[in-house]
Chain A
Amino acid sequence: MHMADALISPAVGGVFWAATAGLMTYCSKKMRNSFESLQVPLMGVLGAFIFASQMINFTIPGTGSSGHLGGGLLLAILLGPCPAFMTIASVLTVQALFFADGGLLALGCNIFNLGFFPCFLAYPFIYKLIAGEKPTQSRIVAGSILAAVVGLQLGAFGVVLETLFSGISELPFSTFVLLMQPIHLAIGVVEGLVTASVVAFVWAARPEILEMAAGHAPAKSFSIQKVLATLMILALVTGTGLSWFASAHPDGLEWSMAKTSGKEELEAPEQGIHSMLGHLQEATSFLPDYGFKSAEVTEAAEGEAQHETAVVEEAEAWPAVDIGTSVAGVVGGSLTLLMAWSIALFLRREQKTS
């Protein structure tokens, strides 16, 4: 469930980069004191362990498929929230750079979805509460499953919201939620079971490791107020940032005008200052129009006739189709590709001869 660069807008990517950077600064401040301790190599090696554990898989009974560990919650249990968050961030960075999973701009979103929720919400408020100070086998299992499920549900919902706010995908909110949440419910249960069995094994074999981790973790001094404040600020930044972009974008207005007063009167002339400004606005629009029109289409799809009117309305809301422009775009596009290709060929030949 890695977000991809191709699906997010700069505003969403930027907001989550900022949120992730803030969390990282907070964490590295918290961890500065323990910098010479065992924590440094432990974090590094456990990050590598997440990769290594993905070499080994197991059969999920009854389905014939196989699963493996995701690792967010396990790291939080072993290391505590802050070091675990940093470790997950590093794992995702390596994945983004080497496996092309997600992307550089989407990295903020991914770290937030897969790091923040398990480390700062699921672990302290669910796992710790259930497993308690003196964990037993059954408490570990219950805590892990519940925490993993909640963490992954939140993460999946994060993916949905980020995609929705970016407006690149046309997928309606309800469809996307129905697609993502059940899948991640199943993944969450599997992840919880795996985490539980590993933690239970460690608990049976070397209980001092878990105690050490719980002692290392700054979880005790971790206040709910701080989490809430961070979330509030985030919501505020996201809300104001996005609404500013949205209201600066005239498409919504144009659309409602076309809807209320009909299109003909308002249609801009094809040439002249108006269309030039239109082009300028198109060229500089930062956030793509993420009107909730697609959700409307699904609603309207209940009745056939209604559906048709919705489609017509949509077509009206769009810039008029200009055949000349389309053909010119295709011709120009092909020529551009040809040029890029020949430049590359030239560069390669230069390299060979030099």
Chain B
Amino acid sequence: MPKIESSLFEIGVLDQLAFQDTPLHRIDPRIKLITTLCFIVTVVSYNHYEFSALLPLILYPIALSASGQLPGAYLWRKLLIASPFALLIGMFNPLFDHSTLLQIGGLSISGGWVSFASIMLRFTLTVSAALILVASTGFATVCMALGRMGISKVFTTQLLFLYRYIFILTDEGLRMMRARNLRSFDKRGTGLKIYGSMLGQLLLRTMDRAQRIHQAMLCRGFTGDIRLNRQFRLRSTDITFAAGWLTFFILARTCNLPLAVGQFVMGIAA
């Protein structure tokens, strides 16, 4: 429970980060969305034994969070909170895959460990890219960008609505929870029966609220559109941003940069 409470608080933090004004925040949201998607596809397209070739891509989240002044410690914490599923599934790779893939000095590393490391690296890269997108753009703007890119209006309206009411309703849920906890001793009343009617109550209140909202919206001339006062214009910096990063992704994808650098250095040393 405290976990959900704190993660809700953290939604607010992401939104606050999105209100900053840095070069990254000024980039057109559509461009950021496309670049993020390209980045994620690039990351997951690698062979599953690939680890070192993925490393250059770390530049993307690191450079973006630096230029967008996003706190690294905070992003790390969010990554850690979200990691259990990938960790759980990835953990089986070393168990099932024993054949040697790497040999460094006397140490031989099995394919399972390499692919496990690769999974965790992919996880870090993809999740941080998504977080950076929201932290540098803001949810409403991401929705707008989605709408501009052809996602159905029903869905973008739904997203905006949902986002607007999450805070209000979770607050209500939290209050009910606290009230019940204060009145229940030795876990009495925390069972399914009471829970069912509590949720039912919350649901009825929610539906009444929806009715009031709907009437208020109709009074204000709602025709199925949520209008946000924001204009998008592509500037040359946006194009450069996208082109630069896409070139980098292609470069990193087609040649193993760390291997080349390593071989070069070893050549000099030898």
Residues of chain A whose beta carbon lies under 8 Å from any beta carbon of chain B:
1-2, 4-10, 13, 24-25, 27-28, 31-32, 35-36, 38, 40-49, 51-61, 66, 69, 78, 86-87, 89-91, 93-94, 96-101, 103-105, 163, 167-172, 175, 193-194, 196-198, 200-202, 205-206, 209, 282-286, 288-289, 294, 297-298, 311, 314-315, 318, 321, 323-333, 335-337, 339-341, 343-345, 347-348, 350-351
Contact = CB atoms under 8 A, between A and B. Distances in A.
A37 B212 CA distance: 13
Contacts of B163: 94
B259 interface: yes
Contact of A49 (B4, B14, B202): B202
B240 interface: no
A284 B43 CA distance: 13
Interface residues on B, range: 35 or more
Nearest to B40: A105
Contact of A40 (B49, B100, B133, B157): B157
5 contacts: A10-B45, A46-B210, A52-B166, A170-B97, A197-B199
A140 to B, nearest CB: 11
B254 to A, nearest CB: 6
Contact of B262 (A10, A91, A93, A335): A335
8 smallest CB-CB distances across A and B, nearest first, come from A44-B161, A197-B196, A332-B262, A201-B200, A332-B258, A328-B262, A52-B173, A58-B195
B30 to A, nearest CB: 15
Interface of B: 1, 4-5, 7-8, 10-11, 14, 22, 36-37, 40-41, 43-49, 51-52, 55-56, 58-59, 62-63, 65-67, 69, 78-79, 81-82, 85-86, 89-90, 92-93, 95-104, 111-112, 115, 118-120, 122-123, 126-127, 129-131, 133-134, 139, 142, 152-155, 157-166, 168-170, 172-174, 176-177, 180, 187, 190-204, 206-207, 209-211, 213-214, 217-218, 222-224, 253-263, 265-266
Main secondary structure of the interface of A (DSSP, over half): helix
B203 A202 contact: yes
B161 A47 contact: yes
B188 to A, nearest CB: 10
Contacts of A283: 253-256
B96 A297 contact: yes
A100 B124 CA distance: 10
Contact of A288 (B47, B79, B98): B47
Given A38-B211, A45-B206, A283-B256, 13 more contacts: A6-B86, A13-B44, A49-B169, A51-B170, A55-B177, A69-B199, A87-B162, A91-B162, A98-B139, A197-B197, A205-B200, A294-B96, A332-B263
A25 to B, nearest CB: 6
Contacts of A96: 130
B85 A4 contact: yes
Nearest to B212: A41
A55 B170 contact: yes
A197 to B, nearest CB: 3
Contact of A341 (B62, B174, B196): B62
